[in-house]
Homo-oligomer: A and B are copies of this chain.
Amino acid sequence: MSDNQPETEEATGVEETGIYDADGVISSDFLAHIGAAIADRATLTLKQDVSSLHQSEIGDLLEALLPEQRRALVELMGDDFDFTALTEVDEAIRLDIVESLPNAQIAQAVQQLDSDDAVYILEDLETEDQDEILAQLPFTERIRLRRSLGYPEETAGRRMQTEFVAVPPFWTVGQTIDYMRDDQNLPENFSQVFVIDPGFRLVGAVDLDRILRSKRNVRIEDVMRETRHAIPATMDQEEAAQIFEQYDLLSAAVVDENERLVGVLTIDDVVDVIQQEAEEDLLRMGGVGDEELSDSVMTAARSRVPWLLVNLITAFLAASVIGLFDATIQQIVALAVLMPIVAGMGGNAGSQTMTVTVRALATRDLDIYNAGRIIRREMGVGLLNGAIFATLIGLVAALWFRDPDIGGIIATAMVINMFVAALGGILIPLLLDKVGADPAVASSVFVTAVTDVVGFFAFLGLATWWFGFL
């Protein structure tokens, strides 16, 4: 650190970069400043103020700008625009920007990127544009990107970086360090050195800290670990993420079908995958498909129709159960007033159990070793909370309609429905998981169907029988 830098610069938090406000949102001052610079076509200001930002900060800035401002910003900055920022924005925004640029400029920019970022940007483009861009790249780079793009979406091969450091096992630590000092084509960041045989097949890996604490004359094969967690390029990214999580990996070798080293998967990509999978689970449980915030009304509406349709069917099923007892309801209207309480409380209790179950299945915390205990526990919870709320609701209903019979009937129906809800809440996701369906997607519909049907049937059926309408 040179002497003329102020001491207070030493350990500044993220807020102090000044582009975010207290809520962590791009500050309106900064946005106005950049907006004005774009309007004035003040290229120099933009280059100065935007180039110094981190790629994710540029991404946030792009998302806050208007579409035409975004395109103008990228155009004005020219070669100074950091294309990695495009990996940090919504897919729709990325496509909009990339499609506004000439393919030659994209080809130029892509060469500066790590291969995983390049693939991220190229994969959404039309095959035609992809081909045109790839054709303008140097041979080795073209081959590498083609190989990554050749693997299916959401696989390790798609997410891997093809730049890595690999050395033969008979090299010494000193040789390896000298090699790294001399080679100008090292990846931008790396945390381990791979060890390969003459056929490029993976032998092992050495973490950098291991190299640094070893003497120069030690042979690489004596400090390397055998790679127990090599990731096949065709492995699903979610499965790869689970391996990272389980074994606390920072990076892992990706190998092709002949166990040749083809790339490296790094933890930052895996963090994105973990976030994405958690998001998917949450959205699915809420009855929403793979939606993005930038989707249009039509796209969003369409993605939600299937779930609403399934719910419509179960709603009519529940309605037809009510229809069985229309004569009873006509005699005692109080039943119509109270019946949504029985169904609703059951639905809530069921969705509590279901949420716990779906999450435990996703994290693999629920398995054959504890399923029996958890099922028994949920039955206990259902009976216990069923009894508590049955008493409460029974009392209120009896007082409201001045009829102890109504109180007793709703209390009994509540206990039944809360117990069935607990049972359904755990058995339905377990069953769906067993048959290979995603419990996050479908459980909710079935659980609600069960608690509605059982809730209405138990309550109205009991009332019909008790008051002698049968």
Chain A interface (Cβ < 8 Å from any Cβ of B) = 1-2, 5, 9-14, 17, 23-26, 31, 54, 56-57, 63-64, 90, 169, 177, 180-181, 183, 186, 189-191, 195, 201-204, 207-209, 211-215, 221, 224, 226-232, 242-248, 250, 253, 255, 259, 267-268, 270-271, 274-275, 278-279, 281-283, 285-288, 291, 293, 295-298, 300-301, 304-305, 307-308, 311-312, 315-316, 318-320, 322-323, 326, 329-330, 333-334, 336-341, 343-345, 348-349, 351-352, 354-356, 359-360, 363-370, 374, 377-378, 380-381, 384-385, 388-389, 392-393, 396, 448, 452, 456
A9 touching B226 in the complex, CB below 8 Å, given contacts A24-B364, A340-B322, A344-B311: yes
Complex CA distance for A312 and B369, rounded to whole angstroms: 35
Whether B64 lies near A369 (C-beta < 8 A) is yes
Question: Which residues from chain B contact A389 at a C-beta distance below 8 Å?
Answer: 308, 312
Whether A246 lies near B369 (C-beta < 8 A) is no
Question: Which residues from chain B contact A211 at a C-beta distance below 8 Å?
Answer: 212
Complex CA distance for A364 and B470, rounded to whole angstroms: 57
Whether A385 lies near B305 (C-beta < 8 A) is yes
Whether B287 lies near A203 (C-beta < 8 A) is no
Complex CA distance for A255 and B359, rounded to whole angstroms: 35
Interface of chain A, main secondary structure: helix
Closest-by-CB residue of B relative to A333 is B326
Beyond A245-B275, A286-B351, A326-B337, list 16 extra A-B contacts (CB 8 Å): A10-B202, A10-B227, A12-B230, A14-B229, A24-B364, A26-B369, A180-B212, A186-B209, A275-B278, A278-B282, A283-B359, A293-B370, A308-B348, A308-B352, A311-B345, A312-B389
Closest-by-CB residue of B relative to A275 is B274
Complex CA distance for A369 and B17, rounded to whole angstroms: 20
Question: Which residues from chain B contact A343 at a C-beta distance below 8 Å?
Answer: 340
Can you spell out 29 A-B residue pairs with CB atoms less than 8 angstroms apart?
A: A1-B169, A11-B201, A11-B227, A12-B228, A12-B230, A14-B229, A25-B364, A25-B367, A25-B368, A31-B369, A56-B247, A63-B365, A177-B212, A181-B213, A208-B209, A245-B271, A245-B275, A282-B285, A282-B355, A283-B359, A300-B377, A301-B380, A301-B385, A307-B348, A308-B349, A318-B341, A326-B336, A329-B329, A329-B333
Most chain B CB atoms below 10 A, which of A57, A308, A345, A456:
A308
Question: Which residues from chain B contact A384 at a C-beta distance below 8 Å?
Answer: 297-298, 301
